[in-house]
Structure 1
Amino acid sequence: MLFHSAIRGAQDGQWGRRWWPAHGALLAGLWLLVQTGLLLYYRGPRYAADSWRYLEYAGSVAQHGYYKFADPNDRFVYEHGQRYLVYILFQSFWLGLGAGWWGIVLGQVLASGLAARALYGALRQLAGGRTGAAALATGLFILWPDIQRFNCFLLTESLFISLSVLAFAALVQVWAGGGRAAWLGLGLVLGLTLLARPNGFVVAAAAGVAGLAQLAQRPGRRLFWTAVGLLTLAVPLLLGALNQQLNTFFIVETYARGELMFGARAWAQHPAAALQLPPAGLGQVPRVLYFAAHNPEFLLQLMLGKLFVFASGLKPQYSRLHCLANALVLWPAYWLAARGARRPDVWLPARAFLLAVPLLQAGVVMLTVDDWDVRFLAPVLPFVFGLAALGAARGLAARFPTPPPGAGVPAGR
């Protein structure tokens, strides 16, 4: 298995025994090398198709302190930008300092470095101080190009990935006994992640799943069922908020086109009979529910197709080498992640969080549409790699150095 051999290679032999104690410095050097290589490869900040809408909003905020309408009748940039508010404010901060695109990108690189360090620390704590899983997951986080390359792009992905990882680390700090400061830090990072992009609610929802997992372990489960009841009562409010959040998206239109990937005709599905489309005037959530009620078989066909293109890493525009790399790394990672999710010695809410993020994101993609690239998959890969590393390291725990007394937090806490 690729993940097992990666750990064995670091631990076996004289080289491993000599250099493993310095693996933290090696990871830091590797991170610096990767970032430098990517900046050279892309020749600095990379402008993409969606970059204009963030930069236009952020530039107006940097100049005026608020978004100033160039055309009062054209509200798309403003209304759509509200769903990416934290990223736009992040851009406006650097633009306001006069640092330009380079400031934005270097800020993203710095945030990614902090996230890599936070991921390592959180997984090491969860493993009781052992370093194997932490080093493997952090190494994959640093080396996987479909994650790190976004640091060079003027898009939301880089900052969103960093904030999501920092949210996981903040959750672990709560468990580690960080007190009120840890709770405040968790709330702050979850709030920033929630407002960084529309699917930021996935991370907040995963934190909710982690909280339910913790409550479910308490005797009597009274608080657990109380929380479930309150969430059930809140469903109409949550659906209303979601409907408002989606008012600049056109989900049913992608259904009608049979798209598995937004704007791409490749692998598009074709219905066996004429589709029944919702009437005009409905919100996005009622439109989706109407389509599901009247076209259930075709919707299921679309959902399964979108799950495949999302999770498999196989897309028609990818090279054979790219597809092969995804198959050799991601597919075993999913299997190992399932093993890691069942480790009883790792804090249950952390496992629930790591598992909930990719599963919830998969559900969002199935009900909306996948991206033609990896903009929806990349943000969940740090959590897949984290669980996979926990699953791989369990069988090789004897090969890792024994931590000194007091290293890490006891797993049974």
Structure 2
Amino acid sequence: MLRIATRRDFVLPIVLAVLWLGIHTVLFLHYGVRNLLDAHRYALKADFLLAQGHLEEASDLFYVVHIGLLALFGRFFHSATLPVIVFQCILSGFATAALYKASSKLFDDRMAGFFTAVIFLLWIDHLQWNLVTLTESLACSTGCFVLYVLVYFDGKAKWFFTLALLVALSLFTRPTGLLTLAGVLVFFAFYYRSLWKTSPVVMTAAGVSIAILGTWAGLTVLDQWDFTDQLARGNIITYVDTLKGGPLYDASLRMDTTEIIPPRHMPSTVGKLLFFFRDNPWLSAKAAFLKVFYLITAVRPYYTKWHNAFLLTWMAAVYFFFFVGWSIVRRNPVVSFVSAVILLNGILIAISTVDWDNRFYVPMEPGIVLLAGGGMASVWKKWGKRKSGLHA
């Protein structure tokens, strides 16, 4: 049956487009073009790629999409910074549209899509990364596109191909793309769960094989970084020990290192990490709790009390709507993807460190926003019906 477009079909996207443009304009006027330390490092790596024709370090492979983008724009412009920022902002606009469409379909409600997009655009702590040449903006936009594909996934070849491409882009934009890969595998396990009854042997063999390969890939990636460096320093926030005595330093951001048993000398960094946990169980558990606490609350000791109060209020509201949305579509395989990414990102932060400005939250944000928008639409409808009942 042919669907007749309603007035709201046009009004909501226009409102979102105006909001997207207005917020990015205000952010640009406020921040301008920022050349942060990490952004400068990526720019140097892009220059090296242009000059030498290959990556500077093997670990740069996990950032090659971002480095390649900087190199591409650097080839045609005097400076790649502004063109990349413009590209990131435009891509984020498409990502917002993808979230709008995904949420609308997942909850079968355009208002859910609208609220999802509004929450995404108003989450300034994350949206502002569009104006910095770091990997977070591309990673976040890619995450939104992955959710769009998963919501519309119907088993056809085109969706497999698109999903494989997006997962590859995610993997080679940031190492946290591994979380996306793991989440997609969990999604498939739930999406094809009916096959466990019809072909249990085949599905079990496939599941075990994928689990083994996934574990091997994850350990291989993790082995590129030595997490025990920050753990041995007692850092809750990365490299906070180097700022001791400065205005940003706070004693609560470090553990007491006097009783830490140092990491063992081993060729495998994953092995070093596991033995460090075994040798320092209490300290590791306490540090993990504090890291995850700072991650999910977004508060920091060096923020003002008003800023922290605002963050707690915002996060509490988002989480409330998230759980409402989760309860509505909890049986959908997309929810299994979102849950897996949140859980694995929390574990990753627990074994490493949380950052200064909560950009490590980025892998979780698209999924949380997707479900929060649906939850907010549900609450909005119930409130509207209740209000109508009171006036009847």
TM-score, shorter chain, exceeding 0.5: yes
SS of residue matched to 1:170: helix
Q: Is the 8 A contact 1:94 1:104 kept in 2?
A: yes
Specify which structure has the bigger relative contact order, considering alpha-carbon pairs within 8 angstroms and separated by 6 or more residues. 1
Q: How does 1:321-360 map to 2 (within 5 A)?
A: 321-344=306-329, 348-360=332-344
CA apart distance, 1:199: 1.1
Is residue 185 from structure 1 mapped to residue 162 from structure 2 by the alignment? yes
SS of residue matched to 1:50: helix
1:285 maps to 270
Deviates more, 1:377-386 or 1:358-367: 377-386
Question: C-alpha separation between the residues in 1 aligned to 2:31 and 2:214?
Answer: 44
Question: C-alpha separation between the residues in 2 aligned to 1:310 and 1:100?
Answer: 31
Q: How does 1:264-413 map to 2 (within 5 A)?
A: 264-265=240-241, 266=250, 267-271=252-256, 274-344=259-329, 348-397=332-381
Q: Is the 8 A contact 2:345 2:363 kept in 1?
A: no
Question: C-alpha separation between the residues in 2 aligned to 1:150 and 1:156?
Answer: 9
Question: C-alpha separation between the residues in 1 aligned to 2:128 and 2:317?
Answer: 22
1:195 maps to 172
Backbone CA RMSD of aligned residues:
2.6
CA apart distance, 1:269: 4.1
Question: C-alpha separation between the residues in 2 aligned to 1:40 and 1:396?
Answer: 33
Deviates more, 1:390-399 or 1:144-153: 390-399
Q: Is the 8 A contact 1:259 1:369 kept in 2?
A: yes
Q: Is the 8 A contact 1:167 1:186 kept in 2?
A: yes
- Count residues in correspondence: 368
1:51 maps to 39
Identity %: 24
Question: C-alpha separation between the residues in 2 aligned to 1:18 and 1:319?
Answer: 44
Q: How does 1:65-104 map to 2 (within 5 A)?
A: 65-67=53-55, 78-98=57-77, 100-104=80-84
Query: What CA deviation, in whole Å up to 9, does each residue of 1:160-182 have, x standing for no partner?
Result: 1111111111222323x6x3222
Deviates more, 1:105-114 or 1:280-289: 280-289
**Which of 238, 248, 264 is matched with 1:262 structurally?**
238
Query: Cα distance 1:293–1:136, how it changes in 2: closer, same or farther (>3 A)?
Result: same
Question: C-alpha separation between the residues in 2 aligned to 1:227 and 1:319?
Answer: 52
SS of residue matched to 1:317: coil
CA apart distance, 1:214: 1.5
Question: C-alpha separation between the residues in 1 aligned to 2:73 and 2:37?
Answer: 21
1:32 maps to 21
Question: C-alpha separation between the residues in 1 aligned to 2:145 and 2:7?
Answer: 31
Is residue 252 from structure 1 mapped to residue 232 from structure 2 by the alignment? no
Question: C-alpha separation between the residues in 2 aligned to 1:21 and 1:110?
Answer: 20
Q: Is the 8 A contact 2:179 2:345 kept in 1?
A: yes
Query: What CA deviation, in whole Å up to 9, does each residue of 1:96-146 have, x standing for no partner?
Result: 122621111111111111100111011111122x11211111011112111
List runs of 5+ in structure 2 lacking aligned partners. Answer: 1-5, 242-249, 385-392
Query: What CA deviation, in whole Å up to 9, does each residue of 1:22-41 have, x standing for no partner?
Result: 12101111101111111111
1:162 maps to 141
**Which of 114, 118, 121 is matched with 2:94 structurally?**
114
Question: C-alpha separation between the residues in 1 aligned to 2:336 and 2:372?
Answer: 14
Query: What CA deviation, in whole Å up to 9, does each residue of 1:336-365 have, x standing for no partner?
Result: 323322324x76111112222222211110
Letter in 2 for 1:256: A
List runs of 5+ in structure 1 lacking aligned partners. Answer: 1-16, 68-76, 401-413
Question: C-alpha separation between the residues in 1 aligned to 2:115 and 2:184?
Answer: 24
TM-score of the superposed pair, with normalisation by structure 2: 0.86
1:171 maps to 150
Query: What CA deviation, in whole Å up to 9, does each residue of 1:394-413 have, x standing for no partner?
Result: 3445789xxxxxxxxxxxxx
SS of residue matched to 2:300: coil
CA apart distance, 1:233: 3.2
Query: Cα distance 1:60–1:233, how it changes in 2: closer, same or farther (>3 A)?
Result: closer
Q: Is the 8 A contact 1:212 1:227 kept in 2?
A: no
Query: Cα distance 1:397–1:353, how it changes in 2: closer, same or farther (>3 A)?
Result: farther
TM-score of the superposed pair, with normalisation by structure 1: 0.82
